[in-house]
Amino acid sequence: MALANVGTPARAGWWKKNQRKLAPWLFLAPGMLMFLVYVIIPIFQSLWLSFFDWDGLGAKTWLGLANYTELFADEAFYTSLKNNVIWLVLYMLAVPAGLFIAIFLNQTVRGIRVYKSLFFFPFVISSVVVGLMFSWFYAPGFGLFFKLTEWINGTGYAILADDRYVTYGIVAAGLWPQIAYCMILYLTGLNNVSPDQVEAARLDGAKGWSMLWNIILPQLRPATFIAVVVTVIGALRSFDLVSIMTDGGPYGSSRVLSFYMYEQALSEYGYRMGYGAAIAVVLFAIMVVPITGFIWKMVRDERSGG
Amino acid sequence: MKTTLKTLLLGTAAAVALASSAFAEQRELVINTDTSDPAPKAAFEALIKDFEAANPDVKVKWNLFDHEGYKTAIRNFLTADAPDLANWYAGNRMAPFVKAGQFEDVTDVWTANGLDDQLKSAAASMTIDGKKWGVPYTYYQWGIYYNKDAYKKAGVTEPKNWAEFVANCEKFKTAGIDCVTTGSKALWPTAGIFDYINMRTNGYEFHMDLTAGKVAWTDAKVRAAFAEWAKIVPYTSANHAAIDWQDAAANLVQGKAANYVMGNFAVDTFKKGGMTNDNLGFLIFPEITPGIPRAEEAPTDTMHIPSGAKNKDDAKKFLAFLASAEQQTKINATLGQLPVNNKSTVSDDPFIKAGFEELSSAYALAQFFDRDAPAEMAKAGMEGFQEFMVKPENLDKILERLEGVRAKAYK
């Protein structure tokens, strides 16, 4: 009893003294714990797993760097890497395309909200649905695209059956929702463009391209930055469309790294956990570059802003 | 029939009489299956009902999985929370589980119930290291399904051998019909064609050696098989790489294609598309090298006891029940497939009958490429087959790649 009486004021005092310092950490704790358990620890587990040969059931065998040496001699890995580069480059088209649609829609006409939501629609529907729609669009025999090429050419063209064009066909499907995403980013950005500056520029005789390039775009820099980053990340994790539209085929020519990782580690014929983990590590290394850039810029902006 | 009714009545009576006190003494038997399609589901429902009637002291708890999800789920539940029984596939497909010690040795069920004789045709594919690891309950045949109207239109007759089959292809072409159709988006249909051409060109033993990794993919005999295949590649439906097997089935139904190398499960799809027993035909894959004993594809579905099972005694009872001629007749009548037990009777369906004759007179049975070869080899192989069907000129590159996979896959 006496002890408690002595102890309580002391403890309360310590809490009072450090409350301000502790509160943010306490509020952060649940999120940080989740992040640690579901993001940080699995990253190291993947790295660790990539040094083993493991089928998910039996015992793990230590391989050292053998998974990586195999990976760097693996033809399929380079096909996937090449396709990732194609994705990355072509996916960037979503940024200017989104910008132009946003500028086009940034006007006050009757019912503009309806048009805006129609343009935003592809981003709202599931990418599985987008993939299905596009695979019907390309489908040999009855697809709209197939019929169109048949009408122009005499023979229809099945884009998803051709190893040369299949990736472009899938990227086109991926661009559709991604353009909508960039558009919405730019539409919000355009709301914040200062009308005074536009007015001043107009008085100085700026219009058309020079107005866009010198006045509007600099003010849209934050939107552009986010649009580029989400597009890069979107391109690198382009898994769903590949899985829905081609399953990596024909003969593996439309694989991307994320899909190859899934195939090796988790698909019906896979269960090479170590090899899949090695692909994951390489993909992570590639992704870390834009993500670090993104975080670094955010921190810098906040420092200079505050 | 009489006995079943009697046991059923007895079972019900016993259950009613013992009422509440009996429930505590009922033993639970947990069964996991992926038989979620309508026909397999109905077959298992009936099977479990019959088993419960015959063993009133056992209460079956049946967990139904969807087909695709099951392939992943089984790996988890075998280690984490093993049921007393689970269905899977024969041949190399069960090898990883057997080797990892996940399946229970059930050789005693085979010897105690005379299954070595009754399930003889599938005994080899259930054996690893001289022991039996499960009980097969159904299989189905593969072969060539053809459109009789397309044959009439092109003015050709059923081929007697491979040379005639290839010669027919030319006539189909002039009639504007694809000689062979397939949908290779999911890869596995290509393996059916390869298995047959290889077994007909080089024989069963060679095919088994190849899928077991004992022969090089660059072997002259493998090349010979691909050379035979190359003869029909130009007459195969274009764009097969972008379509599923069901889409290719539409080609056959609409008469755009004449032949389809497929499993018997496709008959249902053909008939739903409007074909009947009058215009849908079935051919045993024609002979290529004369005199080679005829082997067939017959993928077998099986039931296993996980080593982590809690109620192994009743699980073994269930396996014996499942293996019985009577139950296999019943299950397969519902499934529209063939019973493995040679004392069972088959239904009147012409395709089932044809399959029964085909398989019972066969020299040997293969499971299918992706069940005979280990997963890694199967995947690479089927991708190679698909590439070959699109670009036959890449054959050398493909075979070298497959040889590279062989070096890794059979450690």
- The predicted pLDDT at position B21 comes to 45
In a 13 Å sphere around the CA of A34, the CA atoms on its Cβ side amount to: 4
Query: How far apart are the CA of A231 and the nearest CA of chain B, in angstroms?
Result: 28
Tokens standing for A111?
A: 């019912």
Tens-of-pLDDT digits for all 411 residues of chain B? 444 555 555 555 544 444 444 455 788 999 999 988 888 899 999 999 999 999 999 999 999 998 778 888 898 899 888 999 999 998 878 888 998 899 999 999 999 999 988 888 888 888 888 999 999 999 999 999 999 999 999 999 999 999 999 999 999 999 999 999 999 988 999 999 999 999 999 999 999 899 989 999 999 999 999 999 999 999 999 889 988 899 999 999 999 999 999 999 899 889 999 999 999 999 999 999 999 999 999 999 999 999 999 999 999 999 999 999 999 999 999 888 899 888 888 888 899 989 988 888 888 889 999 888 988 899 999 999 999 999 999 999 999 999 999 998 887
Measure CB to CB from residue B242 to each of A55, A158, A270 and give the nearest one.
A158
Q: Tell me whether strands B280-283 and B142-147 are parallel, antiparallel or unpaired.
A: antiparallel
A269/B376 Cβ within 8 A: yes
Tokens standing for A291?
A: 């993500």
A271/B75 Cβ within 8 A: yes
* Chain B CB contacts of A160 below 8 Å: 241-242
A268/B79 Cβ within 8 A: no
Measure CB to CB from residue A249 to each of B75, B185, B401 and give the nearest one.
B185
Beta-carbon contacts of residue B51 (< 8 Å; ≥ 6 apart): B58, B60, B318, B321
Measure CB to CB from residue B100 to each of A58, A158, A160 and give the nearest one.
A58
- The predicted pLDDT at position B1 comes to 43
- Other CB atoms within 10 Å distance of the CB of residue A68: 17
Query: How far apart are the CA of B192 and the nearest CA of chain A, in angstroms?
Result: 16
Look up the pTM and report it. 0.81
Highest mean pLDDT among A94-98, A151-155, B36-40, B362-366: A94-98
Residue B85: C-alpha distances to residues A49, B61, B179, B276 (Å): 31, 10, 44, 38
Given CB atoms, is A199 within the 8 Å cutoff of chain B? no
Tokens standing for B66?
A: 């969807």
Tokens standing for B67?
A: 């087909």
Chain A residue with minimal CA distance to B405?
A: A74
Measure CB to CB from residue A57 to each of B96, B370, B384 and give the nearest one.
B96
Q: Tell me whether strands B85-89 and B300-304 are parallel, antiparallel or unpaired.
A: antiparallel
CA A259-A264-A265 angle, 5° bins? 100
Beta-carbon contacts of residue B45 (< 8 Å; ≥ 6 apart): none
A138/B242 Cβ within 8 A: yes
A247/B378 Cβ within 8 A: no
Residue B153: C-alpha distances to residues B166, B261, B281, B289, B302 (Å): 17, 20, 15, 29, 42
* Chain B CB contacts of A249 below 8 Å: 184-185, 187, 241, 383, 386
- The predicted pLDDT at position B54 comes to 93
B242/A58 Cβ within 8 A: no
**CA dist., res. A188 & res. B386, Å (int):** 48
Measure CB to CB from residue B386 to each of A139, A249, A270 and give the nearest one.
A249
| DSSP code per residue over B351-365 | HHHHHHHHHHT-SEE
* Chain B CB contacts of A141 below 8 Å: 239, 243, 247
Chain B residue with minimal CA distance to A248?
A: B185
Query: How far apart are the CA of B98 and the nearest CA of chain A, in angstroms?
Result: 11
pLDDT at A116 over 70: yes
A269/B79 Cβ within 8 A: no
- The predicted pLDDT at position A11 comes to 65
**Closest C-alpha to B213, from B36, B13, B377, B397:** B377
In a 13 Å sphere around the CA of B175, the CA atoms on its Cβ side amount to: 20
Query: How far apart are the CA of B218 and the nearest CA of chain A, in angstroms?
Result: 19
Query: How far apart are the CA of B81 and the nearest CA of chain A, in angstroms?
Result: 14
B401/A250 Cβ within 8 A: no
Residue A121: C-alpha distances to residues A124, A126, A181, B322 (Å): 5, 10, 10, 53
What is the average pLDDT across A269-279? Answer: 88
A140/B243 Cβ within 8 A: yes
B178 close to B258: Cβ distance less than 8 angstroms: yes
**Closest C-alpha to B363, from B146, B207, B166, B221:** B207
A272/B383 Cβ within 8 A: no
Beta-carbon contacts of residue A80 (< 8 Å; ≥ 6 apart): A255, A256, A257, A259, A260
**CA dist., res. B90 & res. B365, Å (int):** 12
**CA dist., res. B107 & res. B119, Å (int):** 13
Given CB atoms, is A132 within the 8 Å cutoff of chain B? no
* Chain B CB contacts of A140 below 8 Å: 238-239, 242-243
Query: How far apart are the CA of A205 and the nearest CA of chain B, in angstroms?
Result: 55
Which of B78, B98, B178, B185 to probe the A interface (max A CBs under 10 A)? Answer: B185
- B114-151, pLDDT tens digit by residue? 998 888 888 888 888 899 999 999 999 999 999 999 99
Query: How far apart are the CA of B395 and the nearest CA of chain A, in angstroms?
Result: 13
Q: Tell me whether strands B135-139 and B178-181 are parallel, antiparallel or unpaired.
A: unpaired
A269/B243 Cβ within 8 A: no
Beta-carbon contacts of residue A170 (< 8 Å; ≥ 6 apart): A134, A160, A238, A241, A242, A245, A246, A254
Beta-carbon contacts of residue A26 (< 8 Å; ≥ 6 apart): none
Given CB atoms, is A302 within the 8 Å cutoff of chain B? no
- A166-219, pLDDT tens digit by residue? 999 999 999 999 999 999 999 999 988 888 888 898 888 888 888 888 888 888
| Three-state secondary structure readout of B108-161 | HHHHHCCHHHHCHHHHHHHEECCEECCEEEEECCEEEEEEHHHHHHHCCCCCCE
B247/A158 Cβ within 8 A: no
- The predicted pLDDT at position B120 comes to 84
Tokens standing for A119?
A: 């343009």
> Which neighbouring-strand residues pair with B138?
B301
B58 close to B342: Cβ distance less than 8 angstroms: no
**Closest C-alpha to B323, from B122, B140, B24, B119:** B119
**Interface pTM, i.e. ipTM:** 0.79
Chain A residue with minimal CA distance to B101?
A: A58
Tokens standing for A245?
A: 């539209």
**CA dist., res. B29 & res. B305, Å (int):** 11
Rounded CA Rg of chain B: 23
B239/A161 Cβ within 8 A: yes
What is the average pLDDT across A28-48? Answer: 95
CA B220-B226-B229 angle, 5° bins? 150
Sheet holding B300-304, edge to edge: B58-64, B27-33, B85-89, B300-304, B135-139
- A237-247, pLDDT tens digit by residue? 789 999 999 98
Highest mean pLDDT among A264-278, A285-299, B265-279: B265-279
Mean pLDDT for chain A overall? 88
Chain A residue with minimal CA distance to B78?
A: A57
